[in-house]
Structure 1
Amino acid sequence: MQDKPILQVENLVKKYGPGCSICADANDEVLEKNVCPHCRTVYACRSISFDVYPGEILGIVGESGSGKSTLMKCLYFDETVTSGEGYMTPYEAGMANVFEQSSQQKRLIRNTILGMVYQNPVLGLKMDFSSVGNIAEKLIAAGDRNVQRMETRSKVLLEHVHIPLSRMKDEPKKFSGGMQQRVQIAKALSNNPPILLLDEVTTGLDLSVQASVLDLIKTIQRELGISMIVVSHDLAVIRMLADRTIVMLNGKIIEQGLTDQILEDPQHAYTQQLVYSLI
């Protein structure tokens, strides 16, 4: 693992609502979980800071409503952060705060540096496009105009994620949930992104399908050396994939460390509860 992080996030805040003088500091004494009882502002992410290193898989775990999916949407620019800083070494040598860039520059970062796999494939795929068309769409967004090259790249990726080429012209709406997730992964990988974001990618899949999708993610990470952030409420997924893990609760990071360490010796009462419910 190299010394310099490929991604640094510092004090990321995302709130829904205007805030008020009472909840200005967004501290636990004032908020009910992560909501201000006075103005009803929701503090989805509260001063989130973390690093991701080249070739590392960072796990983010927490219950529903802990802020982990909001964090992913902020990183992929689906949501605008309220405040905070983010630096990616492949962009401006890690010197520019990506959250302050123009929408054009954010599109460039999305299309060349980041890949995203959503929990719901409908968010990541055009269900009426062919599988090849979905992959080509991401390549075109990054500036590729060579049809032959795009088709070749699409075939390689579909084979990589075990989609039969006999079905490459089929639309994802004709596929099972597991196959849709695999097409999403192929699309996310199309531009060789150095950072891949995976949000609850196995939720709702049968156990055998979950295992094959997780195996695929692990293989891709090993072969391509991509840095990944994997969000899940399932500790078994995190145990299998993540080198280090962040535990979120009510919009805050309450514990972080090596995955083994967190699962073997959890410090925070909430993490203990999570771990013991797994056992």
Structure 2
Amino acid sequence: MLDFEDKVLRVRNLSKQFGEGCELCRHDKGVLEKNHCPHCKTIYACRDISFDLYKGEILGVVGESGSGKSTFVKCLYFDQDVTAGEAYVTDYKEGKANMFDETSQQKRYLRDYLLGMVYQNPYLGLKMDFTTISNIAEKLIAAGGRNVVGMIERADELLDVVSIEKFRRKDAPKSFSGGMQQRVQIAKALSNNPPILFLDEVTTGLDLSVQAAVLDMIKVIQRDLQISMIVVSHDLGVIRMLADRTMVMLDGVVIEEGLTDQILEDPQHAYTQQLVHSLL
């Protein structure tokens, strides 16, 4: 049972745009075509996104390609700078410091200790020529780890969790299948026991049977470790399987949010109704 008083992350009015904007679109978003300005070509990838993430919760973010969902999660992991907005991690400076205003050094601290990311493209999250164990050790070293034996033991423990066979652990991820690469990414992201984990389209491009195995593993990890997760996907089937609550994005805006069961059973927005219908 989720405790909705126990927040681990608060985000307010997160916005990200590509371009300076012009007099027309800065003052009247009604001139936009979808999420871009036809006059100055500025793209408003995310507009005033606000939400809370709770301890042990999986929050789903669903939307079509170009809806802004991946940009949104990359902003939270500092892969991209926000244009405006605030975000507070409860385990960081008593939840009183806007992490978007922090120095690059403090942002590295947040990434190394309190946040984890699993990318759609494993090449963004892994060193493909390093061994699997070395990939996990890299994250541990970034967080100050120096005990080699301890790091190897931690890597083995996590690779057991994600079911990577012992005889493959000194192999480089470039020799692995897509599903195995995603499992190694998850192990690496979990290495420092972060309270918050971001997963961006982690099953895209995988065979259906591999997708199911990865999703089952994510659910088990979340249940056993009580990590809070934000899962981004264009596939409402993935969100249905994983998420406690769901936000639906379209053209950079959250158009609907609520408990996942409610979204699936009684969608209010026409776009969400279309998504749910496509799932049936």
Q: TM-score, normalised by structure 1?
A: 0.99
In the aligned structure 1, how far is the partner of 2:47 from the partner of 2:25?
12
Aligned to 1:92: 93
Aligned to 2:226: 225
Name stretches of at least 5 consecutive residues in structure 2 with no aligned partner: none
SS of aligned partner of 1:205? coil
Aligned to 1:5: 7
Aligned to 1:199: 200
Q: Which amino acid aligns with 2:115?
A: L
The answer on 1:134 being equivalent to 2:111 is: no
The answer on 1:47 being equivalent to 2:48 is: yes
Q: Which amino acid aligns with 1:190?
A: S
> Which runs of structure 2 are paired with 1:57-76 in the superposition (5 Å)?
57-76=58-77
Across the aligned residues of Structure 1 and Structure 2, the Cα RMSD in angstroms comes to 0.7
Q: Which amino acid aligns with 1:166?
A: F
Aligned to 2:106: 105
The answer on 1:31 being equivalent to 2:32 is: yes
2:19 aligned to 17, 20, 25, which one? 17
In the aligned structure 2, how far is the partner of 1:274 from the partner of 1:25?
31
SS of aligned partner of 1:202? coil
In the aligned structure 2, how far is the partner of 1:48 from the partner of 1:111?
25
In the aligned structure 1, how far is the partner of 2:216 from the partner of 2:51?
26
Q: Which amino acid aligns with 1:105?
A: Q
Deviations 1:34-72 (A, max 9, x none): 001111000000001111000000000000000000001
Aligned to 1:185: 186
Shift in Å, 1:277: 1.1
Among the aligned pairs, what percent are the same residue?
A: 71
Question: What is the count of residue pairs matched by the alignment?
Answer: 278
In the aligned structure 2, how far is the partner of 1:268 from the partner of 1:81?
27
In the aligned structure 2, how far is the partner of 1:59 from the partner of 1:18?
30
Structure 1 runs of 4+ off > 4 angstroms?
none
Q: Which amino acid aligns with 2:18?
A: Y
In the aligned structure 1, how far is the partner of 2:74 from the partner of 2:167?
34
In the aligned structure 1, how far is the partner of 2:234 from the partner of 2:264?
14
Q: TM-score, normalised by structure 2?
A: 0.98
